[in-house]
Structure 1
């Protein structure tokens, strides 16, 4: 789990710690082989980093978690609202949420400011990984994913545990008026001195979890920010687009 600098390759949500067959974690930027500006654990295939470095980083990340990299399902994300029910591992295209009820199959999303949400349905042994930027948040991708799990797996709110992961924080996510108008007042703040508007993506996505009916005691939020804790996480905005990608992954051991 640790590189030579004793920095963690990943952080595992304590919310899931009591489930012995569940693997869930989000990566940090530590313990990889990529040079600047992708240093060091860049897991993003769609960056200008050397693909061999990214593959090595992915191998290190998954190996540290005890996951076979050949058993992971990911997608090229497009900031949309399409949901993939993964039955096989592989690299897909066009999905921003992936779900599965297959054991020994892990679903993962890439992030570098957007919100990763990991969901576990303990009764039906189903999981989901969701990538929600502002577009996915406005499209209520979290709600859509939960409703799809309900239809496909019989998922009920009381059986779900959800982790809202590391993302850009409310003090850093400034938006223009065309984006601000898409958010309810409780999720945005106007600075009284500059009149600039800031949006809280983490809270907006958490509301979708609670609106579905997941008990608040079964929801956990990351205490980290990709901007404020940039020494540990990649931030596309803070690093002006020249940076790596984090990954959030979840699945059940067979």
Structure 2
């Protein structure tokens, strides 16, 4: 039995901001067959494009978002950040930022960490894709810095959500990857002879280092691997699986 039934999770850290829409999708409520069952919203999978489009339509409809107001990027596990001024599909960015209303930023994940940020004072948002490469490249810290430069964001005014991703007990890596992480975010497993990496904690640390307080950071309690019935996991499903979306944006005040 799945722990979740909805097509999305709304992070509690944002619940007091009525004009903000922020969520991450689950794998429930779509039409895709195995192995993409069922709400595969990934544009670059072997699933049928018709299925993916219907799944995306359902997900955005559940959130009350107009699909024509979506911005996304083909992610490359880098640290490039795009200031988004219009909806559309972009290329080569792993973080999107904007302060325009009714413009909804998305990142695609299936083990990597999605991070959503809302600057309540300047009315600005960010959606970040951070796998191990993005995390070690400090894309979260760079995104907060970009928001400061572009929008005058002060970290004290920000709330952030570190979303569902692979958990530390499932993410084993070799020395070449482990060497790029601080000791506090890795643990050596003698049985596997591998290091285990905590991506959530590493990205939380970057948020805190920028000046966002712990009390304004929410962390998903779920794991793509341990909760594979509810979320897609690229690693545990050997790459043949769907994708989730994390989305954030705010509606204009009438």
Q: Which residue of 2 is the match for residue 37 of structure 1? A: 35
Task: For residue 118 of structure 1, give the secondary structure of its aligned residue in structure 2.
Answer: strand
Match of 1:98 among 89, 93, 96: 96
Mapped to 1, the partners of 2:83 and 2:75 lie a distance apart of 15
Mapped to 1, the partners of 2:179 and 2:215 lie a distance apart of 31
- CA shift at 1:195, angstroms? 2.6
Q: Which residue of 2 is the match for residue 113 of structure 1? A: 111
Deviations 1:93-138 (A, max 9, x none): 1010001100000000000000000000000000000000000000
Q: Which residue of 1 is the match for residue 240 of structure 2? A: 242
Does residue 156 (structure 1) correspond to residue 154 (structure 2)? The answer is yes
Q: Which residue of 2 is the match for residue 179 of structure 1? A: 177
Match of 1:198 among 196, 199, 205: 196
Does residue 211 (structure 1) correspond to residue 209 (structure 2)? The answer is yes
Mapped to 2, the partners of 1:193 and 1:88 lie a distance apart of 50
Task: For residue 162 of structure 1, give the secondary structure of its aligned residue in structure 2.
Answer: strand
Deviations 1:124-156 (A, max 9, x none): 000000000000000000000000000000000
- CA shift at 1:191, angstroms? 1.2
Q: Which runs of 5+ in 1 are unaligned?
A: 1-5
Mapped to 2, the partners of 1:30 and 1:247 lie a distance apart of 12
- CA shift at 1:192, angstroms? 3.2
Mapped to 2, the partners of 1:112 and 1:137 lie a distance apart of 15
Deviations 1:190-247 (A, max 9, x none): 0133332111111001000000010110001000000000000000000000000000
Q: Which residue of 1 is the match for residue 230 of structure 2? A: 232
- CA shift at 1:177, angstroms? 1.1
Mapped to 2, the partners of 1:104 and 1:81 lie a distance apart of 25
Mapped to 1, the partners of 2:168 and 2:113 lie a distance apart of 12
- CA shift at 1:59, angstroms? 0.4
Mapped to 1, the partners of 2:239 and 2:79 lie a distance apart of 23
- CA shift at 1:157, angstroms? 1.0
| 1:112-131 map, 5 Å | 112-131=110-129
Q: Which residue of 2 is the match for residue 8 of structure 1? A: 6
Does residue 69 (structure 1) correspond to residue 78 (structure 2)? The answer is no
Q: CA contact under 8 A between 2:8 and 2:23: conserved in structure 1?
A: yes
Mapped to 2, the partners of 1:194 and 1:137 lie a distance apart of 23
Q: Which residue of 1 is the match for residue 76 of structure 2? A: 78
- CA shift at 1:60, angstroms? 0.2
Mapped to 1, the partners of 2:237 and 2:36 lie a distance apart of 10
Task: For residue 57 of structure 2, give the secondary structure of its aligned residue in structure 1.
Answer: helix
- CA shift at 1:51, angstroms? 0.5
